[in-house]
Amino acid sequence: MSVMTFTVLTIFPEMIDAFSGIGMLRRAIEKGLVSCSSVNIRDFAEGKHKVTDDRPYGGGAGMVMKPEPIASAIRSAKATHPSAKTILLSPQGSPFSQHHARQLSTCEGLILVCGRYEGVDERICCDLIDDEISIGDFVLTGGELAAMVIIDTVIRLIPGVLGSTLSASNDSFEKQLLEYPQYTRPPSFEGQAVPEILLSGDHARIERWRLEASLKRTFLKRPELFKEKKLAGPEIDILKKWRIELEAIIQTQS
């Protein structure tokens, strides 16, 4: 069994080191399934002050990360992990999704490059970066949170990281539907009862109820997800049942 290696290049290694000491990532590391190390880009900066940023050519607000320290840090990480894929986190990247995560989970290693300030010197992106990823259409003060989002999403797809291998394949985005509602004890909370079917022990009925609840939620909250989805037999059956029920309602109106 191979170890997936995450190497995060950052000027704030403390953020990554704190993250790797907590929760599912910590457990995955302890199980020997993944490794997660930070590399301080500042260690590759020259001079007494180890400067990693500078003013933009052409003027304008803010600072740009200098190319030399990042290039040296990437080359060092690539020398240690020759088969790893090098990814820059930036708002200009391709939009991250569960599909993306599934592809990345097959990589032997990821070198995640985190920029700060107003961005990274454009000449870094050209030959040292394999992929540029964005976790969404918003701007962060640095790529570190984006790197953590990617690590979190990818590790839970690695066999053995979650308690059960079924847990990840059960996820809403693997089925292209929103998750059904979940309940736990007590059976009544502040006047709201748990749906009776879930207490019935009838697993076939529970499964059908959950699928219908997932379809309802998706239809009401994220109808555009149906455009991407290939509907299965039981899903079509439920939509046909709705059609009959809706037609009955319309009939009573005319």
Query: How far, in Å, CA of 217 to CA of 125, rounded?
Result: 40
Question: Residue 60's CB: how many other CB atoms inside 10 A?
Answer: 9
Say whether 118 is catalytic: yes
Say whether 131 is catalytic: no
Cβ 220 to ligand 4FD shortest distance, Å: 28
Residue nearest to ligand 4FD (CB): 115
Say whether 53 is catalytic: no
Say whether 55 is catalytic: no
Q: Which is closer to ligand 4FD, CB of 121 or CB of 235?
A: 121
Cβ 50 to ligand 4FD shortest distance, Å: 20
Cβ 189 to ligand 4FD shortest distance, Å: 37
- Residues 153/112, Cβ–Cβ less than 8 Å: no
Nearest of 202, 194, 199, 231 to residue 214 by alpha carbon = 231
Nearest of 30, 38, 36, 16 to residue 160 by alpha carbon = 30
Residue with tokens 């032997």: 108
From 43, 68, 131, 171, active-site residue: 171
Cα dist. 216→43, 202, 209, 226, 233 in Å? 53, 21, 10, 12, 16
From 156, 208, 210, 217, active-site residue: 156
Q: Which is closer to ligand 4FD, CB of 61 or CB of 139?
A: 139
Helix, strand and coil in the chain, % to nearest 5: 45, 20, 40
- Residues 120/90, Cβ–Cβ less than 8 Å: yes
Q: Which is closer to ligand 4FD, CB of 35 or CB of 72?
A: 72
Q: Which is closer to ligand 4FD, CB of 144 or CB of 235?
A: 144
From 118, 131, 132, 152, active-site residue: 118
Question: Residue 215's CB: how many other CB atoms inside 10 A?
Answer: 20
Cβ 93 to ligand 4FD shortest distance, Å: 6
Q: Which is closer to ligand 4FD, CB of 95 or CB of 195?
A: 95
Cβ 119 to ligand 4FD shortest distance, Å: 4
Q: Which residues bind ligand 4FD (CB under 6 A)?
A: 89-91, 115, 119-120, 134-136, 138-140, 142-143, 146
Nearest of 108, 138, 132 to residue 120 by alpha carbon = 132
Active site residues: 91, 118, 156, 171
